[in-house]
Amino acid sequence: MSKFYVTTAIAYVNAPPHIGHALEFIQADVLARYHRAKKDDTYFLTGTDEHGVKVYEIAKEKGVETQQIVDENAEIFISLKEILELSNDDFIRTTQDRHKAGARKLWEKMEEAGDIYKDTYKGNYCVGCEAYIAEKDLDENGMCPNHKKKPKLLEEENYFFRLSKYSDKIREAIESDRLKIVPESRKNEMLNLIGDGLHDVSFSRPKEVLPWGIDVPGDDSQVMYVWGDALSNYITAIGYSAESEHFKKYWPADVHLIGKDILRFHAGIWIGMLMSAGVEIPRAIYVHGFVTSEGHKMSKSLGNVVDPLEYVEKYGADALRYFLMREIPTADDGDFSHGRFVDVYNSELANGLGNLVNRVVMMTEKYAKSRVPNKAGSDVYEDLKEYFDKYDVAMKGFDIKETCDVVMRVIDYGNKYLDDKKPWILAKEGKDDEVMEVLYRSLDILRYVCMLIAPIIPATCRKIIDQLGIEVSEDFSEFGELKVGGNVKKADALFPRLEE
């Protein structure tokens, strides 16, 4: 049995979840569910980043303890497991003791390697990014390119990480694909960024500036900066502090799934930290783009911010899951348009999948008294095998959008099969055996559709297999056959058409 450990970037708790969080969490969930269905020993981690300047300042403005703010916001992110039908095995919070212990151990290992030193740093600091920004990376107006605000000029005595020492090793790992970065364009971007070499990075903040964080081991006048704190969650969550059997089993991570704006931190600083501490590096980093709204960057002032929770409440989790996986290019930027959401919902979920299920179930009721007929004729699997192969290639290549396309091609195949065979005509002609063959094959096509949609829209998969009376394991790794003579149930429409 193979192992598969997938992580998302932990979410910062200064604001509620947005559509970008939903995109990333669902992408990781699809990968985890796919690997569980393949019988891989799968572990899926997500969580929250709860230290830093922004959340501390929000708490000060509200006149409450910072812990209260992070607890309230973390609960919202934890609730996404149920709301978005996520299957994460763990949820790490950076204010938990298990995390703090692991983060301190990692720091001490880096210090033992001679890679932590104290110095004075002067630079442009963006509060929004919670990071220093090089002069060359500011826009033409001297603003942070992400937040469009002028950074503060700060001068502090901090601890530094000797990242430059590992620059060549990091470059070699990326070039050789020992650290695989997907898509290829992001790999090239990272190699260009490394250029002539990476520079040492500030690794702490004075507690007088930021009292909300993890104390630096041996110096309680300083707190760990975001690199040593947040990035270490990928190993602290699985037992790095005690080097538990759980840690030994799942590390290194098979996939870090992140947004394009934090690639340099994950493929540069994080990899250097691990090399310094003598810990294996992850196997791959999958990078997704940003989600715009109606063709524009999401902004409260424009009134185009998409709240994923509103869409789930109104249309269901699977409708949102499918749209994000189908419509947004998996590894690139994409747009969320309400009009397009309705179009995809109606054309592919209601008219495509929903219609196929309804047709097959209704015809089985009419011509076979709602019972699965005897198996006859050729095996459906052989006709669909090319689709399964393409589906696997796309999933393994981090192209979930393509897997959705393959699913739709199988659904179209099923609808076309009924249109071509016309069992209603065969029934009028008295060709009962042929009708039963068409019905059995159509039911089996639905069974295979369920296998394909299980990672993407799991709740819908469950509804269909319940109608077909198929026995399926909780993780979809065991998928039963159709039971000849078994009852095929009618049910409400899976996706009622939207008129808006």
Instruction: Give the residue numbers annotated as catalytic, written as ranges.
Output: 18, 21, 126, 129, 144, 147, 297, 300
Q: What token pair was written down for 267? A: 């493929």
Helices 400-421 and 380-396 cross at an angle (nearest 10°) of 160
**Residue 101 burial (C-beta neighbours within 10 Å; 0-12, 13-18, 19+):** middle
Report the amino acid identity of residue 94.
T
- What SS3 string covers the chain? CCEEEEEECCEECCCCCCHHHHHHHHHHHHHHHHHHHCCCEEEEEEEEECCCHHHHHHHHHHCCCHHHHHHHHHHHHHHHHHHCCCCCCEEEECCCHHHHHHHHHHHHHHHHCCCEEEEEEEEEEECCCCEEECHHHCCCCCCCCCCCCCCEEEEEEEEEECHHHHHHHHHHHHHCCCCEEECHHHHHHHHHHHCCCCCCEECEEECCCCCCCCEECCEEEEEECHHHHHCCHHHHCCCCCCCCHHHHHHCCCCEEEEEHHHHHHHHHHHHHHHHHHCCCCCCEEEEECCEEECCECCCCCCCCCCCHHHHHHHHCHHHHHHHHHHHCCCCCCEEECHHHHHHHHHHHHHHHHHHHHHHHHHHHHHHHCCECCCCCCCCHHHHHHHHHHHHHHHHHCCCHHHHHHHHHHHHHHHHHHHHHHCHHHHHHCCCHHHHHHHHHHHHHHHHHHHHHHCCCCHHHHHHHHHHHCCCECCCCCCECCCCCCCECCCCCCCCCCCCC
